[in-house]
Amino acid sequence: MKRSIGLLVLTFALCLSLPAVTEAASSLPAGFIALAPGKMNLKNAKAYCASKGGRLPFIGGKNSCSSVPKGTPIDGLGAMGAKWPSGLPRDYYWTGTADSTYPWIVYADEGSVGASVPDGVENLTYRVVCVP
């Protein structure tokens, strides 16, 4: 009986020392290097991606733009108006692209990619996915 309890305690201790595999990491589509575990403000989103060796996705390969026409590619997220990639939770995500005032966000709307500029970003939080 003592040996069984000792083996159970040892097994439990080994499990605690192993790195956790998160749902986000296991469901991350190809092309992304990290998916944050929760929503963040823009400043923390940029810092999170930098800490993972990456950046926020760009719309049309640029860090600034004034409009996003249908078909514009979005790093790892497909293209504007195209199907949302499988394996990435449907939600709103920060991008590294901004207009003259605010950054763009990307979202899944009925299975297709959309983009918009939120008003005032200081306290807003969205999901974060990072690209290399």
pLDDT surpasses 70 at 47: yes
Query: For residue 28, what is the domain's CATH number?
Result: 3.10.100
Q: What is the pLDDT of residue 75?
A: 87
pLDDT surpasses 70 at 27: no
Give a yes or no: residue 125 inside a domain: yes
Strand partners, 114: 107
Q: Which domain holds residue 62?
A: 22-130
pLDDT tens sequence across 59-116: 888 888 888 888 888 888 888 888 887 677 888 899 998 887 788 888 877 667 777 8
| Eight-class DSSP state of 4 | H
Strand partners, 80: 113
Higher pLDDT, 115 or 130: 130
Give a yes or no: residue 5 inside a domain: no
Higher pLDDT, 127 or 87: 127
Query: For residue 119, what are its two tokens?
Result: 């008003």
pLDDT surpasses 50 at 3: no
Instruction: Count up the domains in the chain and report the number.
Output: 1
- The one-letter amino acid code at 88 reads L
Give a yes or no: residue 8 inside a domain: no
Residues 64 and 61: their CA atoms lie apart, in Å, by 9
Q: What is the pLDDT of residue 4?
A: 44
Please tell me the pTM assigned to this model: 0.73
Higher pLDDT, 42 or 101: 42
Q: What is the pLDDT of residue 111?
A: 61
Give a yes or no: residue 55 inside a domain: yes
Q: Do residues 26 and 83 make contact, with C-beta atoms less than 8 angstroms apart?
A: no
